[in-house]
Each structure stands twice: as structure tokens, then as C-alpha cells.
A and B are shown apart, each in its own frame.
Chain A
Amino acid sequence: MSAYKDEDPRVTRIKRSIRVVPDFPKPGIMFQDITTLLLDPQAFKDTVDMFVERYKDKNISVVAARAGEDRNPTLEFPITESLAGIEARGFIFGPPIALATGAKFVPLRKPKKLPGEVISEEYILEYGRDCLQMHVGAVKAGERALVVDDLIATGGTLCAAMNLLERVGAHVVECACVIELPDLKGRERLNGKPLYVLVESH
């Protein structure tokens, strides 16, 4: 579901603060740039507040989010994945939500970034594969988890994130993103897990 449809007055400002950059990272892609949202302290605060209001009484014990690691833009991969694959900035939204709800924050990263023992989840893209890792022991069986990202496109990476959490026995309560690209139908790829977004972009 989208808060946009619920017409919370804060959503207009949030949506307006997101900059769309044409032809990045390659021609034909309309890139959803949330850095301009971060330049508006009120809009950034409203974004975090809306998530916190939704989750603070849901006994969430862990917030998991991806870091903004790059996919090499010169490699061939489809337009749809590049939106999610390059600029994941869950690191920016996840920690404030975790802090405000008293949950742990667990970073999910590309290979070789997390030191020590990790578990890996490979996932398939239209052309090729990618891999997400989580620290062994960071999340325990029975924990209630929220997965946060700045944007959902095809849902492939959110799906991989959920799998990592479920494999260690956690219960994924919901996925939360600032932006959804509904035309890419990522929502349908989440194995029935609910998805909450603030704004949609067509």
C-alpha cells in the first residue's frame, strides 16, 4: 500500500523533494534521486517519521537494509534492474528507523564487504546474478524484521534480503521503501509479504 494514496499531507513535500535525473546511469533511464530529499531536513524527518509511526508498536527487533554498493554500469544488465542495483541507499533510511523503534540495524552487503562469517543469498537478474550477504549471528530465529530500501523496482533484491532473514528463522513483518515503481511489478515478487511505500513513480 502507498501512503500517497492515503493522502498524508507530508507525502506531497516528500515526493516533490525527490529529483528525477534522466539518462542515468545510462540513456533511457529516469533515475529517482533521493539525495535531494536529504537536503530538505523537514522532508527527511517526515520520511523517517512516517515509517517510525507505522512500525514503532509492531515489536520489530531488527531493521535490515542494503548498502549503496555499485554494480558496474558498464556491464550489461537490463534497464529494470539498474534502478535497484546501483544506488540502493537503505543505509540512509534504515538506521534512523532502527534507532527510533529500538531495533537492531543489520546491514546487508555485496560480497567481501562484511568481515567475519557471513551467509550469502544469490539471486538472478535478467542478465546474470548478484549476491547479498548478512553476518552470521546478527539475526536470531524468531526475531521480527523489517526490510528497508530507498526504492523498489523489480523486487529482486528485496526478495533476496527477505530470504536471508527467513533462512536464519526470522519473521519478515514487512518491506518498506520510500519509492515504488509499480510498473515493474516488484510488489508481486515478494512472496506475499506486505510492502509499504510512501510514493509511487510511473
Chain B
Amino acid sequence: MSAYKDKDPRIHGIKARIRVVPDFPKPGIMFQDITTLLLDPSAFKDTIDLFVERYKGRNISVVAGVEARGFIFGPPIALAIGAKFVPLRKPGKLPGQVISEKYVLEYGSDCLQMHVGAVEPDDRALVVDDLVATGGTLCAAINLLERVGAQVVECTCVIELPDLKGRERLNGKPLYVLVESH
């Protein structure tokens, strides 16, 4: 579901602050740049507030953020709802023991890692990223959390690219987004 459809008055300002940059990182791609959202303290606060209002009464004990832009939205949500923040990272970045989840891209594969012991079987988790496209990364994140026995309550992103059907790739996990971009 998308808050956009729900017509919260703050959404318009948030969507207006997202800059689309053509041909980045390569020709043909319209890149959804959230850095301009971060330059508007009110719109950035509204973004976080919308997420916090949705999740604060739901006993979420861990917010897992996908690097790197999930690190911008995840921690403020975690802080506001009193949850742990767990970074999900590319290989080689987390020190100590990790578990890994490989996932398939259009060309090739990638890998997401999480610290062993960071998340426990009775944890209720929220997965955060700035954007969902094909859903591959979110799916890998869900798998990491479920493999250690946590319950993934929902995935949440600022932006969804619905034409890429990422929502269908989440094994039935609900997805909440603020804006859609076609």
C-alpha cells in the first residue's frame, strides 16, 4: 500500500523534493535521488514521522536498514520507536561473524550480510530502504532476518517503482511506501 494513495498532506511535499536524474548511473536509467529530500528539514522530518506513526505501536524490536541509503532512514525510525538498528551490508564491511544471503540481479548476483547475534528469534523486524525496484535486495534482507528466526512484520521504503513489480517478490510480506514513481 502507498501513503500517496491515502493522500496524507505531507506526501506532496515529500514527492516534490525527490529529484529524478536521467541517465544515472548509466544511460536510460531515471535515478530517484533522495538527497534533495534531505536538504529540506521539514520534508525529511515528515518522511520519518510518517514511518514512525505507522510503526510505533506495533512492538517492532529491530529496524534493519539496507546500505547505504537505508542507513539514512532506518536509524531515525529505530530511535523514535525504541528499536535496535541493524545494518545490512555488502560483503567485507561488517567485522566479526556474519551470515550471508546471495541474491540474483538482472546480470549476475550480489550478496547481503548481517551480524550473527544482532537479531534473535523473538525479534519483530522492519526492513527499511530508500527505494524498492525489482525487490531483490528487500527479498535478501527478509531472508536474512527469517533465517535467524525473526518475524518480518513489514518492508518499508520512501519510493516504489511499481512497474518493476518488486512488491510481488516479497513472499507475501507487506510493503508500505510513501510515493510511487512510474
A-side interface residues toward B, CB under 8 Å?
19, 21, 24-25, 31, 33, 35, 38-41, 44-45, 48, 67-70, 73, 86-87, 89, 91-93, 95-96, 98-99, 102-107, 112-116, 135, 138
Do the beta carbons of B68 and A68 come within 8 Å of each other? yes
Q: With A39-B86, A41-B82, A116-B19 in contact, do A89 and B41 touch (Cβ < 8 Å)?
A: no
Assembly CA distance A104 to B72 (angstroms):
12
Assembly CA distance A39 to B94 (angstroms):
14
Do the beta carbons of B85 and A106 come within 8 Å of each other? no
- Could you say which residues of chain B place their CB within 8 Å of the CB of A44? 75, 78-79, 85
Chain B, interface SS category:
mixed
- Could you say which residues of chain A place their CB within 8 Å of the CB of B35? 106-107, 114, 135, 138
Do the beta carbons of A92 and B71 come within 8 Å of each other? yes
Assembly CA distance A105 to B24 (angstroms):
22
- Tell me the smallest distance from the CB of B96 to a CB of chain A, in Å: 5
Q: With A39-B84, A104-B39, A138-B39 in contact, do A73 and B78 touch (Cβ < 8 Å)?
A: no
- Could you say which residues of chain B place their CB within 8 Å of the CB of A19? 96
Interface size class of B (residues with CB under 8 A): 35 or more
Do the beta carbons of A35 and B115 come within 8 Å of each other? yes
Do the beta carbons of B87 and A35 come within 8 Å of each other? yes
- Could you say which residues of chain B place their CB within 8 Å of the CB of A67? 68, 71
Do the beta carbons of B93 and A95 come within 8 Å of each other? no
Chain A, interface SS category:
mixed
Assembly CA distance A107 to B93 (angstroms):
19
Do the beta carbons of B41 and A115 come within 8 Å of each other? no
In the complex, per-residue mask of B58-72: 1 if CB is within 8 Å of any chain A CB, else 0? 000000000110011
Do the beta carbons of A98 and B79 come within 8 Å of each other? no
